[in-house]
Structure 1
Amino acid sequence: MDVTTKLTVGGNGVLGCWLIAAPFVLGTSAAGRWNDVIVGTAVVLVAGYNYVRAASRRPITATGAGLVAVLGLWLVVAPFVLGLEELALWNDVVSGTLVASFGSYNAYVAGSAPALRATAQ
């Protein structure tokens, strides 16, 4: 796997860890806190799995990367659905945008990997 893929998968892992810690740092409401902890945990687990695959030179899973992208999109919408305000709202919007962007890139790379291998042969 290329360096960019490793960086984006690793970046999502770091962002997932931040999402787990952020509600306690920012003093988010209960609904926002649980949302960030659950989504952050899922992002960490899936990104960690894909990072281990990328580090061992195996292709990352498109399903996992797609799930991370969808979770990132949820993070962009969730503050408005859950009624978060100020810093907690912007934290989720910015973090969600980055998670969705990195996850989308990884899903694209994972989906195109078989086609790239076929053309290389």
Structure 2
Amino acid sequence: MDTITKLTTGGNSAFGCWLIVAPFVFNTPAVGRWNDVLVGTTIALVAGYNYTRAIRRRPVNMLGAGFVTVLGCWLIVAPFVFGLESSPIWNDIISGTIVASFGSYNTYVATIADRSPPFRMTAE
């Protein structure tokens, strides 16, 4: 896989780890804390799996990358659902935007890698 795919999968894995720690740094309320820890753990595991596939020069898992994208979108919406304020809301919005962006790129790359090469007829 290309370098950008390795960076985006590794970056999402790092953001997943950050989301596990961030609620304790920002003293997030309990519901927001559990949301960030659970979503961050899932992102770290799925993106980490895709990172190991990328460094082994195998295509990333399209469903996993798509799931990470959905979780990134959830992070953007979750602070408004849970009524978070100040630092925790901005942490989730910024982290969610980056995770969703990286995840959508990985989904796109996985979709292209999943396609079979086009059929070509040779001229005789």
TM-score, normalised with respect to structure 2: 0.93
**Per-residue CA distance 1:43-100 (angstroms, 9 max, x = gap):** 0000010001111111110000000000000000000000000100000000000000
Please name the residue that 1:69 is paired with: 69
Looking at structure 1, the residues matched to 113 and 28 of structure 2 have their Cα atoms a distance apart, in angstroms, of 40
Matched length: 120
Q: Which residue of 2 aligns with 1:46?
A: 46
Q: What amino acid maps onto 2:117 in structure 1?
A: A
Describe the superposition over 1:9-57 as per-residue Cα deviations: whole angstroms up to 9, x where unpaired: 0000110000000000000000000000000000000001000111111
Answering whether residue 103 of structure 2 is matched by residue 103 of structure 1, we say yes
Question: C-alpha displacement at 1:114, in angstroms?
Answer: 2.8
Whole-Å Cα distance in 2 between the matches of residues 114 and 16 of structure 1? Answer: 26
Identity level (%): 64
The residue that corresponds to 2:117 in the other structure is 118
Write out the 4+ residue segments of structure 1 that deviate beyond 2 Å after TM superposition: none
Structure (1 or 2) with the larger CA radius of gyration:
2
SS at 2:57's partner residue? coil
Structure 1: runs of 5 or more not aligned:
none
**Unaligned regions of 5+ residues in structure 2, if any?**
none
Structure 2 partner of 1:78? 78
- After TM superposition, give the deviation of residue 118 of structure 1 in Å: 1.1
